[in-house]
Structure 1
């Protein structure tokens, strides 16, 4: 093989490697940004909740690099309560967007326990000078039993937040109907698609603007 051919092959390989590098960076840009936030420390915003929170690309969605995604897939409010100090409070954010409850409902945790866990977490955040913002529990698709439990939990959350001057976001107003989560905003029975996350991010940005954060 001639020198000219080797040069062409070498340039082609370099181009492929560079393209692969940028493609990798684009695909994993939110994870890379999250690593940067973790290294920098002291996030302004912590997103705390289950897999629905964890799957959000919050740096990209909110357009800021001071937001840490500490979603915990598959866990219940019991686990959130046990881990809230290390995953939120010890990070000293200004605001914590907290969401959960559907996993509790799925495994049959009593309303009284779910509500007590939320109450304790919200009180802990306030006591430590962190502004909590509750995202109400989102309905599942076509599950009347689950929807009834979600309604009961959300009624408690709205009441508690109203009494304690805590902001909350009601995604169901935008992405659900009388039967539950609308198919156009879902990837499965429970989880959200990109369109739903964009609506959620819009509501988060609205709350942040109201609070001057």
Structure 2
């Protein structure tokens, strides 16, 4: 009887372990499936902030492809947009970029020019762009000033070209920058912040009936 109990306990532990592994890696597995299917309606295109989002879970759908690339700048995305967005033929692309450019000292004019080319490329290929305005970092006044300059440009450009945009800063930041309650470090977001981001994306998708 004791052996049967031990075997049963061992079996339960194995099941719990397998379920835990499946839970942790489910988003990556689904992403591979979405990439292989090749029919993603939505592409998330951006830097590490985008890459770290569990978009399948956050958006509650399996037609979203995460094309996030940690550490990259807007000039990198110019070379990646064809293979990672355009060739995927999505209906809509959420673009998030800029903070890495600011960190490494790329001139504001160049960042804006690169961003404009990214958005023009999407429009030319009949892909609806949605801009996620650049997020503030924690306690960095110099970075914050550059983010404000970039976002002011993006807001004006989006308004001129009837492009929707998401501004997360009113939800995630205060006068000093990214709030500690939403941060895992100076720049990156925690799970609570991603829930807010996912909520705003779903609001856009519902408005556009996608």
**TM bracket (short chain):** over 0.9
User: Is 1:36 equivalent to 2:15 in the alignment?
Assistant: no
Secondary structure of the equivalent of 2:120? helix
Task: Tell me what 1:123 maps to.
Answer: 120
Structure 2 residue aligned with 1:16, among 13, 17, 24? Answer: 13
Moved more, 23-32 or 83-92: 23-32
Secondary structure of the equivalent of 2:68? coil
Q: CA deviation at 1:12?
A: 3.8
Task: Please identify the structure whose Cα radius of gyration is greater.
Answer: 1
Contiguous gaps of at least 5 residues in structure 2: none
Counterpart Cα distance in 1 of 2:89 and 2:209: 17
Aligned length: 210
Moved more, 130-139 or 5-14: 5-14
Task: Tell me what 1:199 maps to.
Answer: 196
Counterpart Cα distance in 2 of 1:207 and 1:10: 51
CA displacement 1:72-126 (0-9 Å, x = unmatched)? 0001001111100011000000000000100000000001111111100100000
Secondary structure of the equivalent of 1:137? coil
Secondary structure of the equivalent of 2:22? helix
CA displacement 1:10-29 (0-9 Å, x = unmatched)? 44433332221111111212
TM-score by length of 1: 0.94
TM-score by length of 2: 0.96
Q: What's the C-alpha RMSD, in Å, of the aligned pairs?
A: 1.3
User: Is 1:175 equivalent to 2:169 in the alignment?
Assistant: no
Counterpart Cα distance in 1 of 2:35 and 2:7: 37
Any residues of structure 2 matched to 1:17-166 within 5 Å, and which? 17-166=14-163
Secondary structure of the equivalent of 1:70? strand
Contiguous gaps of at least 5 residues in structure 1: none
Q: CA deviation at 1:6?
A: 5.5
